[in-house]
Amino acid sequence: MAYLRNLEHGDIVHRCFRCGYCKFPVDYSDFNCPSYKAFGWDTFAPGGRMWLIRAWLSGEIETSPRFSEIMYSCVACDNCKNQCVFEKFRDFLPDVFQETKVELVNDGLVPPAVRDYFKAIMTSGNPYKLPQARRGDWTSGTGLQKYSAQEYLFYAGCVGSYDEVGQKMAKSVASMLDKAGVSAGVLGEEETCDGNEVRILGEMGLFNELAQANIEKFKTKGVKKIITLDPHALNAFRNDYPKLGARFQVFHYTEIFASLVKKKKIKFKKYPAKITYHDPCYLGRHNQIYKPPREILNAIPCVELIEMRRHGLNAFCCGGGGGNFFTDILGTGEDSAGRVRVREALQTGANIIAVACPICAKMLTDAVKMENLEDKLEVLGIAEIMARTQKK
């Protein structure tokens, strides 16, 4: 079949059998594709998306707001890539979805919320349309200084810098780094967006601009090692920036803290709590960082770490990936990912959901409120939990 449009990985779209394994976790306990779970149409599942893309490439269906909504409802959680049975091409499923979004961007046919997100990044440098001068406000009282040749740059990202929940998380990480004697500095008002969501939403021109500016800035300042608050930033720095010439060592903060805990440079007092840990997609499936957050929690005396049924490679996304944190295409209905996830957390009997991503923190905090579970569940970043266990 001849296609009217081309995608880099367009040669695999006809190979999807739409068998549907991609919708599930490995034990089939529930649908594990957030957009299929929320919308309930086969068109919103990875297989449906593949078949629709094929029809769209061949001109059988046209670009429409609905087509765009279906494509942008993907939260890029990578569950499909891991559950698809076709090992010869499954790694490229997320690429096909991302490349389709690039085409939609090039055609100017993205949902209004996506358009507004790009515009905010272009005009304000952040999705909140807040002044650049306020980007470093969150650092106040943390003990971390401006970056000037310290061993690490601590990169907070847009959510950590501007969102209230994100700022709380960033502060706790920064304070803990300072307390542990880690040589780290921040860019403050000089920090700019990492572009991970810009790339996944398909605006490659803007992404390249952001990435190259960041790379140049980091190089100029002599940055060699970066600690990120946000797994989304980690993903961009670790997997995408090297293609543009970056040569930095990139760590997630949980990797640094886990290492310090192992070396006994961080110690905890007893903290009796039942905790369940939510794997962020960009830390877990995208970057295979599963152990460090668990090593930290397991090292805290009296903490009982209880896994949710879907965890690790099979974790259910909070719904905030793929830019949905900002575009909210999945919505907040009963079957929206965040609400499903906090109900799953509740089933474990835990009273704390530990998170390692500011986007997850915000999504799950909101979901706890929507589910009226505020008296039963608290959402806390790993460093926030660590802070509660420090001797005063």
Strands 378-381, 303-305: parallel, antiparallel or unpaired by DSSP? Answer: unpaired
> Contacting another protein (CB under 8 A), which of 4, 8, 9, 17?
17
Query: Rounded to whole angstroms, how far apart are CA atoms 200 and 253?
Result: 23
Q: What is the token pair recorded at 169?
A: 């998380």
Site for another protein in 297-356 (CB under 8 A): 309, 333
CB nearer another protein, residue 96 or residue 177: 96
> Contacting another protein (CB under 8 A), which of 8, 59, 64, 245?
64
In angstroms, what is the minimal distance from the CB of 152 to another protein? 43
CB nearer another protein, residue 54 or residue 238: 54
Site for another protein in 76-135 (CB under 8 A): 85-86, 88-89
The length of the chain in residues reads: 392
Residues that contact another protein, how many (by CB under 8 A): 37
CB nearer another protein, residue 53 or residue 169: 53
DSSP codes of every residue in 122-187:
HHHSSTT---GGGTTGGGTTS-PEEPSS-SEEEE-HHHHHHSHHHHHHHHHHHHHHHHTT--EEE-
In angstroms, what is the minimal distance from the CB of 27 to another protein? 5
| 137 in contact with another protein (CB under 8 A) | no
Binding mask 248-287 for another protein (x = CB under 8 A): ----------------------------------------
CB nearer another protein, residue 89 or residue 271: 89
Contact 326, 112 (CB under 8 A): no
| 216 in contact with another protein (CB under 8 A) | no
Residue at 23: amino acid letter: K
> Contacting another protein (CB under 8 A), which of 6, 8, 59, 66?
66
| 244 in contact with another protein (CB under 8 A) | no
In angstroms, what is the minimal distance from the CB of 20 to another protein? 3
List beta partners, residue 146.
Answer: 186
> Contacting another protein (CB under 8 A), which of 7, 34, 35, 48?
48
| 29 in contact with another protein (CB under 8 A) | yes
Residue at 81: amino acid letter: K
Q: Residue 116's closest CA among 98, 107, 128?
A: 128
Contact 342, 367 (CB under 8 A): yes
In angstroms, what is the minimal distance from the CB of 48 to another protein? 6
Q: Which helix (H) or strand (E) holds 103?
A: helix 93-107
In angstroms, what is the minimal distance from the CB of 74 to another protein? 14
In angstroms, what is the minimal distance from the CB of 12 to another protein? 9
Q: What are phi and psi of 110, to 5 degrees?
A: -100, 160
What is the CB neighbour count within 10 angstroms for residue 192?
A: 18
Contacts 24+ apart (CB under 8 A), 302-306: 302/270, 302/271, 302/272, 302/273, 303/271, 303/272, 303/273, 303/275, 303/385, 304/273, 304/274, 304/275, 305/275, 305/276, 305/277, 306/274, 306/275, 306/276, 306/348, 306/349, 306/350
> Contacting another protein (CB under 8 A), which of 6, 8, 19, 59?
19
| 24 in contact with another protein (CB under 8 A) | yes
Q: Residue 154's closest CA among 143, 47, 62, 242?
A: 143
Would you call 196 exposed, middle or buried from its count of C-beta atoms within 10 A (0-12, 13-18, 19+)?
buried
Q: What are phi and psi of 253, to 5 degrees?
A: -60, -30
CB nearer another protein, residue 20 or residue 136: 20
In angstroms, what is the minimal distance from the CB of 38 to another protein? 9
> By CB under 8 A, which span of 42-50, 116-124, 212-220, 230-238 interacts with another protein?
42-50
> Contacting another protein (CB under 8 A), which of 7, 35, 46, 67?
67
Provide the binding-site residues for another protein, judged by CB under 8 A.
Answer: 1, 14-21, 23-24, 27-30, 39-43, 48, 51-52, 55, 60-62, 64, 66-67, 70, 85-86, 88-89, 309, 333
